[in-house]
Amino acid sequence: MLTASTITDGLTVLVKRTWRESITLPRMSRAATSALRAQLSLSEDTRATIEILDYIDPDWGCNAVALRDELKQHPNLEEITVVIHSRGGNAMEGFAMYNLLVTNKAKVSVEIIGIAASAASVVAMAGDDIRIAPAGYLMIHNPWMFAAGDAPTLRRFADMLDKYQPSIVKAYLRKVGKKKITQEQLQEWMADGGGDGTWFDAEAAVANGFADRIMDSAPAPQNSIRLDGLKNVPEQVLAAFGTPPPADTAPDKEAAGALLEEVIAALKTAPVAEEPVTSQADLEAILAAIGNPGET
């Protein structure tokens, strides 16, 4: 016999199952997070290679905490090579990684083997020597972020971005100033396209001081990059490095609605007990009684 509470529980199980099977969302498990952090790998006692080959994010990407911890474990480094192929990510996290590298006593060499965009381009500026692949690209733009809230909250977020802007500009000027690029020119590039920014190929990156030289050759990046969401992306960048966005995985609301109607109809005819029955066995009985819809 079924009670109202077990009917509700059973319906909840079915709805969750239906929703889970009708939509696929990218998830980052703890194990996957660890794997990404392992890309910040160090070798030998005095020389290190740090790979930034994914999104920059404090929770599920290459991040400052992982970088700090690795550097702490190797206090006697003399040379650090930073290999970058990243669309960027969290501006604050990228700036923190930049500061960790630029204040380290070791000589920092940067190799842009594909793309150094957004926050990744800030990290790249920590290099005492910056090399870019012949087919590499660098992109700079105004810092931006996702935000939600009322007017005062959004104003605080806007103020926060305004505070980060000068620091990021200084990071770029540390390199491009040697080419007599002015702060005004730099800010114009960052604000181009309504803040969407400017892309530089390898030759332009060197000509404008974002890189010191073009590499004779570079290994082809083994990871493709999701570039959807970035604006003004050159077609050649999309063709060389981008991966198409996933197919539409929106839930089939019509199918889910039909299933709900079927479940509700079945539950209306189920006998209801006077006393609650809430064991796992009872939930399984509910599923069996209505044919376990959604099961594959």
pLDDT 10s digits, 106-119: 999 999 999 999 99
Same domain for 154 and 72, yes or no, is: yes
**pLDDT band, very low/low/confident/very high, at 197 (cuts 50, 70, 90):** confident
Give the Cβ contact number of residue 5 at 10 Å: 14
Instruction: Determine the length of the chain.
Output: 296
- Per residue, the 3-state secondary structure of 20-74, as one string, reads HHHCCCCCCCHHHHHHHHCCCCCCCCCEEEEEECCCECCCCCECHHHHHHHHHHC
Residue 248 within any structural domain of the chain = no
Residue 158 within any structural domain of the chain = yes
Same domain for 153 and 188, yes or no, is: yes
Question: Lowest mean pLDDT: which of 30-34, 55-59, 120-124?
Answer: 30-34
If one compares 256 and 31, the residue with the highest pLDDT of the two is 256
pLDDT at 286: 59
Average confidence (pLDDT) over 123-137: 95
Residue 92 within any structural domain of the chain = yes
**pLDDT band, very low/low/confident/very high, at 142 (cuts 50, 70, 90):** confident
**In total, how many domains does the chain have?**
2
Same domain for 45 and 116, yes or no, is: yes
Same domain for 259 and 233, yes or no, is: no
**pLDDT band, very low/low/confident/very high, at 32 (cuts 50, 70, 90):** very low
Taking 70 as the threshold, does the pLDDT of residue 192 lie above it? yes
Contacts of 211 (CB under 8 A, 6+ apart): 112, 130, 131, 132, 138, 202, 205
Same domain for 15 and 43, yes or no, is: no
Same domain for 275 and 128, yes or no, is: no
Ramachandran sector of residue 199 (left: φ over 0; alpha: ψ -120 to 50; beta: rest): beta
- Most confident segment among 8-12, 97-101, 182-186: 97-101
Average confidence (pLDDT) over 164-175: 89
Residue 151 within any structural domain of the chain = yes
Distance CA 79, CA 247 (A): 43
Residue 114 within any structural domain of the chain = yes
Same domain for 83 and 172, yes or no, is: yes
Same domain for 92 and 124, yes or no, is: yes
pLDDT at 111: 96
Average confidence (pLDDT) over 132-157: 86
**pLDDT band, very low/low/confident/very high, at 281 (cuts 50, 70, 90):** low
Same domain for 139 and 275, yes or no, is: no
Residue 202 within any structural domain of the chain = yes
Average confidence (pLDDT) over 201-206: 96
Residue 294 within any structural domain of the chain = no
**pLDDT band, very low/low/confident/very high, at 222 (cuts 50, 70, 90):** low
Residue 295 within any structural domain of the chain = no
Taking 60 as the threshold, does the pLDDT of residue 39 lie above it? no
If one compares 164 and 284, the residue with the highest pLDDT of the two is 164
CATH code, 227: 3.90.226.10
Same domain for 108 and 188, yes or no, is: yes
Same domain for 74 and 207, yes or no, is: yes
pLDDT at 29: 35
Distance CA 131, CA 108 (A): 11
Determine the structural domain holding residue 175 and report its residue range: 31-243
Same domain for 160 and 277, yes or no, is: no
